[in-house]
Amino acid sequence: MRRYIHFFIDESGNAKSDFFVVGGFYLQSDDPSEIESAKYKIASNITKTEKSIKKYRFLNEKDLINYYSRNNTSSHNDKEVKWNNMSYQNKNYLIDKLKNNQQHNFVIASNLKKWQADFININAIYNMMVFFSLERILQNLANNHKLQANDQITVKIYIDQRKDIPKVKDKNAKNKMFKLYGLEDYLDTCFYNQTKFKNLNITVNQLNSISSPVIRYCDYFVGCVSSTFSLFNGSKKQWFSNSDYLLDKFVKKIDSRCFSTLKKQQKSMKKVFEIFENYS
């Protein structure tokens, strides 16, 4: 049987962060047109909600103008809406307006302070976290009889424009394609060597969050999870306040899963995992 699974992925954090979080959502079906329809609905939902947020903050949040408007323009619609530049009121509003279009949220977290290494190779950790996420999701789908390991599975992965990949339009540019193919090759090798899923056709595609509402959706979910980790890690910064409440609303509304990279890391992140477990 042929199956189709599309993953949409963003990240939060860097090599200097306490936590590195990778995640987003996936759509799966035996009919690719169903996935495209759901993707369109998610994008439309995000675009309409962002429009209301931009209007509200332009009219009511003048004190936050540096977060959402460039100095050389007068338009309130000129800057991308991101989790880290929204007020608590708008974050809460966004989650209230989210619609369930059969997407499944997922996130994987790594406590970088627990890594036993002389330096943090964030690209290697990113690749590993993507593999762990996909493998566990595919295994869960197999366990729930939604696919079989010997199915022909087309896996399309859409990632945000990562900081270390040049923003170039030429898809044949060697540096950009080397990094994208590097992730594809890594996933192909890991799945073939370490799992029972041998019939995967994996492609990695890059999207710019400015023009991609589905990637911005990932930013909101991953940002919410990352903020909650920071809150439970003792941060007193105002923009992390009540992140746990927002995450609880997010997870309650949309099917969501949270993974960790290493079992020994779970103790320091236990409270966040418990939020997900409440609705699993």
Q: Chunk the chain into consecutive blocks of 10 residues (it has 280) and report each block's average pLDDT, rounded to whole numbers.
A: 96 89 97 98 97 86 63 57 91 97 96 79 92 96 94 96 50 47 89 94 93 97 95 88 96 94 66 89
C-alpha 3/C-alpha 200 separation (Å) is 10
Alpha helices (runs of H) in 144-205, residue ranges in sequence order: 174-194
- Residue-level pLDDT at 1: 86
- Residue-level pLDDT at 207: 93
Element (H, E) at 155: strand 152-160
Rg (CA), the chain: 19
C-alpha 97/C-alpha 63 separation (Å) is 24
> Taking a C-beta distance cutoff of 8 angstroms, is the pair 251, 39 a contact?
no
> Other C-beta atoms within 10 Å of 170: how many?
9
